[in-house]
Structure 1
Amino acid sequence: MSDERDFSASLELSPEQLETGRFLFAGSCDFFYGAQQIGQLPDPGAPEVAFAGRSNVGKSSLINALTGRKSLARASSEPGRTKQLNFFDLAGRLVLVDMPGYGFAKAAKAVKEDWQGMMFDYLRGRPNLRRVILLLDARVETKASDREVMELFDKAAINFQVVLTKCDNVKPKAEEARYREVVAEVSRHPAAHPLILPTSSQTGRGMPELRAELAAFALPVQG
């Protein structure tokens, strides 16, 4: 069967969708759990959206920008050092999961294998996980470790969506070329969401759209 997903499509959101996203992410957001082993995961509750990316891709900055906090998610001073899944409760309606960074060059092979094993178990066995947001740096080409993680998502049959980070540091022509490269790469993966979103944690670009996308998974407001 042919793949009819349109990877060249643009994200079109209504003012109502954007406002729903703004309202959700304007609510309280608090860290409530950290798990270093798969057996330590909290019981499934509200829908979860996880964030994955290389250890220097700007994941913590993006989570902080999304939630309007300066230090909700903290980057480790040593890439690859943080090895736990961090859970954040967003207004009681959605859970944001900060996954450990991958692709750290200095890490031992056993550490990398442990990361893949734990992440696969989480992805495959989490019933309330709705989507993984995969962050790719707009300034550099797709790495082998990025492709390995996309294959991991395919095997786990979990939907993932690519978000390009640090777009404020890329000139328009270079960003367009990078975007096309990512479109070609992502189109090879059956678990991929077709829409790719350029963002900047510094300027706020793409944040309203990403908030609106994620708000679609949140529990309804209690009356």
Structure 2
Amino acid sequence: MDTNDIEKTSLEKANWLFKQDCEFLRGVEKASDLPAYNLPEVGFIGRSNVGKSSLINSLTTRHRLARTSNTPGRTQQLNFFNLNNQLILVDMPGYGYAQAPKQLVVNWTQLICDYLQTRINLKRVYVLVDSRHGLKPNDDEMMRILDQMAVSYQIVLTKADKIPLKQAAAVYEQTKEKIKDYTAAYPHIIMTSSEDKRGIEQLRLAIIEFVNSPPS
């Protein structure tokens, strides 16, 4: 079997898995309520209204698995989803929402940090960045936190359908250059759109290959 055949088989397996049953397990607002699961986990985080819930719905071929909203700051807890008893997907609270009450922001931040520090089964965090805007100071702050906690993460550019291809390519290159200084950032960036589905299969494959890879 040559390399192309192996890649095709791996993609077919990834697509198959993400089309299997995926159910909401629970939402968590306090670190003391974090559940214990024996499955590997991947988390999704990003600025408010970056398209996190839409991306999770696209990955799992569901329309309403994760609740979507045009209102920033809608996700106010860690939401856990079980993918075919093989993988836990975690929709994390959005950050950077200026209108959120200060105490709520403090609570979100503490919850996220507690989660990152304590989750033994957390394999990788996918940091979602709106391709229309590129990396913002809040994204830099989150990546520094992930670096400090030695949590592996990968940048996923969202809403690529909202900008011309030339602009998307420029944002991709700018982002790739900016993350070189971050120690825990995986250097490969994935450009996605929940509307036209670009990059969705690529992200599925990246998740499965990383989760199934042997420990380094």
What TM-score, normalized by structure 1, do the two folds share? 0.89
Q: How much does 1:76 deviate?
A: 4.1
Partner Cα distance (1:179, 1:217) in 2: 21
Structure 2 stretches lacking a partner, 5+ long: 1-5
What is the RMSD of the two structures over their aligned residues, measured on CA atoms? 1.6
Matched, 1:170 2:163: yes
Q: Bigger relative contact order, structure 1 or 2, given CA contacts below 8 A and separation 6+?
A: 1
Aligned length: 208
Matched, 1:33 2:13: no
Tell me which residue corresponds to 2:140.
147
1:100 to 93, 96, 115: 93
What amino acid maps onto 2:185 in structure 1? Answer: A
Matched, 1:126 2:125: no
The aligned runs of 1:66-215 (5 Å cut-off) are 66-76=59-69, 78-215=71-208
Q: How much does 1:120 deviate?
A: 1.0
Q: How much does 1:77 deviate?
A: 5.2
What amino acid maps onto 2:33 in structure 1? Answer: Q
What amino acid maps onto 1:91 in structure 2? Answer: N
Partner Cα distance (1:171, 1:100) in 2: 29
What amino acid maps onto 1:28 in structure 2? Answer: D
Taking every aligned residue pair, what percent have the same amino acid on both sides?
A: 45
Partner Cα distance (1:65, 1:113) in 2: 30
Partner Cα distance (2:119, 2:211) in 1: 16
Q: How much does 1:184 deviate?
A: 1.7
Contact 2:49-2:70 within 8 A present in 1 as well:
no
Contact 2:130-2:157 within 8 A present in 1 as well:
yes
* Higher normalized helix content (fraction of residues): 2
Contact 1:21-1:215 within 8 A present in 2 as well:
yes
Of 110-119 and 131-140, more deviation after overlay is shown by: 110-119
Where do 4+ consecutive residues of structure 1 move more than 4 Å?
none
Partner Cα distance (1:123, 1:186) in 2: 20
